[in-house]
């Protein structure tokens, strides 16, 4: 597939106005053709104007039309899956087979959201019919449904170049809600981003929809992202990345004349707690599995299990030995970008400076951006006294925390900040401790896993990928799963309307056949 490197603003191919870049192959440290265009505030304004002009039409398309768009996007992603995975592998150093799985997951998400749209439950229709005879005051007819917020800016993630990027879940959920979308492509994988953007744009064109339903911009530094967040026509923002980057966008959005929601997915160490009986019976198995999951994506996964907490006692030594063995066998593999690689090395230094002791290392790095797997260890008292030990280190590192007893395990849990997920490994004899640990974890995470690890995660109606700060900026919402559509919706009440003027979902005949609450039933 030929790449032009242009910005894609609706149906328009727009060349560079603010310089160009080439993609970097992190495995070879070589630049890859072609040049990719950078834009700025002018291109953001052009995309936002197109998105706003398209919004009223697109947000009022029928559920069938919107679902058909999502399915066309999925079909187009299937067609380009092979070249997309190949290009993404060049730009990220990740395995092509893994990226083919990502491409399939992205297409699946669009099809899942098409089904969500067809069912119509996301509209959250509620009807309270008129009561003209009610005393002492008659009640007018009230009908409620959810509508899209407006044009949405989606910031592509670096670590999953397909399923959390241009054609990721944020784009799928926003389009499903009826929002128009402008994606800021991540500069770590510009070619993969262009392939995905063209697949989406072609689906928009084939559906006969306004061109402003979808655009993709790209820029150097922070300026283009700031222009997106500042633009008065943008009504919501999604971001996946570092706490520093996410909070900078969040604060900026709150300082606008019209503040808007910024839905961020940021830092998480996804703690794993091994309860005593499970440790005694399965310590080595759990330790090996923990490290295997930690090393996925060279440790560059938001759901990477990064901290394991276990009580000194039966099973601890086999657990530790299995972790050391698995880390020692891990090959050094290229990390996504020079910046991520540098931050990883800096994070390791901070853990060591806070008192964590390295106990195992994988194969040494042989290339400039290789990440060497590392296992560090610390006791519970030191962990409780050094807040730096609980910070995320994005890369192939894990921290084993050896606590003295159940009380110290609970204290460690209370010391943690908000998390995307937490896991408990337990047996029946551990249920008493698990019941004490559970409410602590409920207050600190959006997903609790028993006898498995945080990664991978299903994309389903019950999925939650979010949690208290700093895991996300709003713990009421998820960025993965079918209910992630709720981020892009707001309720509108229609009072006293004639039936012919009501949106279809609210009419007496319910022509769409959507689920509705009538008088609370």
* Active site (catalytic) residues: 265, 302
The C-alpha atoms of residue 401 and residue 439 are separated, in whole angstroms, by 21
Closest-CA residue to 285 (of 229, 325, 226): 325
Neighbouring C-beta atoms of residue 510, cutoff 10 Å: 16
CA–CA–CA angle 414, 418, 422 (5° rounding):
75
H or E, element range at 361: strand 357-361
Tokens of 14: 């727009």
The C-alpha atoms of residue 425 and residue 330 are separated, in whole angstroms, by 24
Neighbouring C-beta atoms of residue 18, cutoff 10 Å: 17
The C-alpha atoms of residue 400 and residue 323 are separated, in whole angstroms, by 9
Tokens of 328: 């020692």
Closest-CA residue to 267 (of 431, 383, 421, 377): 421
- Residues 6 or more apart from 367 whose CB is under 8 A from it? 27, 28, 29, 332, 334
The C-alpha atoms of residue 444 and residue 109 are separated, in whole angstroms, by 27
Q: What is the torsional sign of CA 113, 115, 118, 124?
A: negative
- Residues 6 or more apart from 28 whose CB is under 8 A from it? 367
Give the CA count within 13 Å in the CB-facing half-sphere of 278: 23
The C-alpha atoms of residue 262 and residue 119 are separated, in whole angstroms, by 27
Radius of gyration of the chain (CA): 25
Neighbouring C-beta atoms of residue 247, cutoff 10 Å: 18
């Amino acid at each position: 597939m030929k790449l032009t490197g242009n910005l894609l603003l609706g149906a328009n191919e727009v060349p560079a106005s603010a310089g160009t870049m080439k993609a970097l192959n992190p495995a070879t440290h070589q630049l890859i053709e072609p040049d990719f265009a950078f834009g700025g505030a002018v291109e953001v304004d052009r995309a936002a104007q197109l998105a706003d002009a398209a919004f009223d039409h697109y947000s009022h398309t029928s559920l069938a039309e919107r679902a058909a768009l999502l399915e066309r996007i999925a079909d187009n992603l299937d067609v380009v899956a092979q070249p997309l995975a190949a290009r993404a592998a060049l730009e990220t150093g990740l395995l092509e087979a893994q990226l083919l799985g990502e491409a399939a997951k992205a297409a699946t998400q669009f099809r899942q959201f098409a089904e969500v749209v067809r069912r119509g439950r996301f509209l959250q229709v509620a009807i309270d019919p008129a009561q003209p005879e009610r005393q002492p005051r008659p009640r007018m007819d009230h009908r409620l449904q959810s509508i899209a917020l407006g044009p949405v800016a989606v910031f592509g993630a670096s670590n999953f170049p397909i399923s959390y990027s241009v054609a990721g879940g944020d784009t799928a959920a926003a389009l499903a809600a009826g929002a128009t979308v402008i994606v800021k492509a991540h500069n770590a994988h510009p070619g993969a981003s262009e392939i995905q953007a063209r697949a989406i744009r072609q689906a928009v064109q084939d559906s006969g929809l306004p061109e402003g339903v979808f655009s993709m911009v790209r820029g150097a530094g922070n300026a283009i992202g700031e222009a997106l967040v500042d633009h008065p026509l943008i009504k919501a923002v999604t971001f996946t990345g570092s706490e520093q980057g996410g909070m900078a966008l969040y604060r900026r959005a709150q300082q606008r004349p019209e503040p808007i929601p910024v839905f961020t997915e940021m830092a998480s160490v996804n703690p794993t707690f091994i309860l005593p009986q499970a440790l005694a019976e399965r310590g080595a198995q759990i330790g090996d599995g923990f490290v295997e999951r930690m090393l996925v994506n060279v440790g560059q996964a938001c759901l990477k299990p990064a901290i394991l907490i276990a009580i000194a006692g039966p099973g601890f030594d086999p657990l530790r030995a299995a972790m050391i063995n698995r880390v020692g066998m891990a090959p050094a593999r290229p990390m996504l970008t020079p910046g991520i690689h540098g931050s990883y090395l800096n994070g390791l230094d901070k853990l060591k400076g806070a008192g964590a002791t390295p106990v195992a290392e994988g194969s040494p790095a042989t290339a400039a951006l290789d990440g060497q797997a590392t296992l560090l260890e610390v006791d519970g008292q030191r962990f409780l006294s050094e807040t730096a030990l609980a910070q995320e280190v994005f890369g192939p590192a894990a921290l084993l925390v050896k606590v003295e007893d159940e009380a110290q395990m609970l204290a460690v849990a209370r010391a943690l900040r908000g998390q995307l997920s937490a896991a408990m490994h337990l047996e029946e004899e551990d249920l008493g401790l698990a019941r004490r640990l559970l409410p602590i974890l409920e207050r600190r995470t959006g997903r609790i896993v028993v006898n498995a690890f945080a990664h991978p995660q299903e994309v389903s109606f019950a999925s939650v990928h979010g949690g208290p700060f700093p895991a996300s900026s709003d713990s009421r919402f998820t960025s993965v799963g079918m209910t992630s559509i709720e981020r892009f919706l707001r309720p509108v009440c229609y009072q006293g309307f004639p039936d012919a003027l009501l949106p279809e979902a609210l009419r007496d005949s319910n022509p769409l056949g959507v689920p509705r609450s009538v008088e609370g039933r």
